[in-house]
Amino acid sequence: MNPQILQGYGVALYTNPVASAADDDYGQFRATILHTLGFDAAEKEISGWPGYASTALHALPQLAKKLGIAALYYKDESTRFGLKSFKALGGAYAVFRLIQKNIAAQHEGHLATPEEILSGKYADIISNMTVTCATDGNHGRSVAWGAQLFGCRCVIYIHATVSEGRRAAIAFYAAEVIRIQGNYDDSVHHAAQQAAEHGWTVVSDTTYEGYRDIPIDVMHGYGVMSREIVNELRDNPPTHVLVQAGVGALAASVCATFWQVWGAKRPQFVIIEPERADCFFQSGQVGHPVVVTGDLDTVMAGLACGEVSPVAWDILKNGINCYATIADEFALEGMRVFANPHADDPKIVSGETGSTGLGLLMAAQGHPLLWNTLGLNANSRVLLIGSEGDTDPTIYKEVVGKTAQEVLA
């Protein structure tokens, strides 16, 4: 069908006119950004960290039946390293890689193992390092955790609308947390300015001119989650994957991993954003990254981003099949549906960004034009990325009416 914007019922869709065909190769250009060796290295290191365990991939057959599809899977990141978010895989891994490189520069190229770093062997080097970033909550929490785990200083910047609960969760890991005025993108620019002034290192999941390697480390770290999914589904990949987008780092990592492993069998890729922070949706229409301005206000706090990460765009511009935005109400309803499952489906604690995929399915269900544009039918097997649990317990209880502990009891 010709690409067009479809709007209504709290959802907007745009089919990508330059989406790669199913049997197109991942390609040499994309492999210069996110590659198998990078994913291999992240998997090797992170799987050896204290507390590592593969997170659950839930099957939800009763909810799938109600939605009118063949199967529904939910990758539950609410238990990841105790941080309740997939972000634990990225920011902390980038901190580890940064420390590794600093040690190598002073020890004839030796790449220290996690065990060596955790033993305190290189504390003289690590204690003099400071990492920093801007965050909506989860990424900063991961960077702070990684800094505390491996022994360096950490300064985190948050913007005006980040909740107090998310601020406290970052501070719990001994980071200095500084709130500034403005939106997320303002905090990104402020963190970069402060890092340049003080000689700190920015650990971000978005790239900009002259800053590329660390965000790519972050994205390779995220690939651990996608590889866990591949290991479970193996020769029976989903037909669709619905992935939420802020700057696009998670989405690009998922897209790259599945493209590399499943090739022509990879799922249709749908990217989801809040309707008020839709930088990918807007970029897709013009064929290049554009900046969305304003307060970007949305309950999906982790997705309140107005600027696309350039390297994520390089992966996704041909990897996305359909761009989507949803109204806040559908993400909130998704949280409640997960917490109150149908029949024997598992109980799931999903935060505001973790429920976006289900929110889109519910928004489109019963509206044939939207449903068909997404390519959904009775044979569809859909994968949702449960990016976070109750990362702000106060907000979670306000939305669901119960605490996470009460939901799972």
Q: Is 126 exposed, middle or buried (0-12, 13-18, 19+ CB in 10 A)?
A: buried
Q: Tell me what the pLDDT averaged over the chain comes to.
A: 95
Q: How confident is the model at residue 3 (pLDDT cuts 50, 70, 90)?
A: low
Strands (E) across 223-376 are located at 240-244, 268-274, 322-326
- The answer to whether 244 and 358 have CB atoms below 8 angstroms apart is no
Check pLDDT > 80 for residue 4.
Answer: no
87 tagged catalytic: yes
Among 14-28, 205-219, 221-235, where is mean pLDDT lowest? 205-219
Residue 91 has a pLDDT of 94
pLDDT in tens, 12-56: 999 999 999 999 999 999 999 999 999 999 999 999 999 999 999
pLDDT in tens, 149-171: 999 999 999 999 899 999 999 99
Q: Which amino acid is at 225?
A: M
Q: Please tell me what DSSP assigns to residue 111.
A: -
Which of 327, 348, 360, 343 has its CA nearest to residue 396? 348
- The answer to whether 156 and 144 have CB atoms below 8 angstroms apart is yes
Element (H, E) at 201: strand 201-202
Check pLDDT > 90 for residue 136.
Answer: no
Q: Is 398 exposed, middle or buried (0-12, 13-18, 19+ CB in 10 A)?
A: exposed
User: Rounded distance, CA 232 to CA 230, Å?
Assistant: 5
- The answer to whether 319 and 19 have CB atoms below 8 angstroms apart is yes
Domains annotated for the chain, with CATH where assigned, are: 5-86+215-408 (3.40.50.1100), 91-204 (3.40.50.1100)
Residue among 136, 278, 345, 392 flagged as catalytic? 136
User: Rounded distance, CA 161 to CA 179, Å?
Assistant: 9
Check pLDDT > 80 for residue 103.
Answer: yes
Element (H, E) at 312: helix 310-316
Check pLDDT > 80 for residue 5.
Answer: yes
pLDDT in tens, 379-400: 999 999 999 999 999 999 999 9
* Other C-beta atoms lying within 10 Å of the C-beta of residue 58: 19
Residue bearing tokens 């899977």: 73
Check pLDDT > 90 for residue 7.
Answer: no
Residue among 87, 185, 205, 317 flagged as catalytic? 87
235 tagged catalytic: no
Residue 248 has a pLDDT of 96
Rg value, the chain, Cα: 20
Residue bearing tokens 């491996």: 150
Q: Is 375 exposed, middle or buried (0-12, 13-18, 19+ CB in 10 A)?
A: middle
Q: Alpha-carbon dihedral of residues 78, 326, 307, 4, nearest 10 degrees?
A: 140
Give the tokens for residue 125. 């080097």
Residue 137 has a pLDDT of 82
Residue bearing tokens 């997404």: 374
Residue 1 has a pLDDT of 41
Residue 395 has a pLDDT of 94
Check pLDDT > 70 for residue 2.
Answer: no
Among 183-192, 233-242, 347-356, where is mean pLDDT lowest? 183-192
Residue 9 has a pLDDT of 87
Give the tokens for residue 375. 């390519």
Stretch 138-156: mean pLDDT: 96
User: Rounded distance, CA 409 to CA 407, Å?
Assistant: 6
Stretch 265-287: mean pLDDT: 97
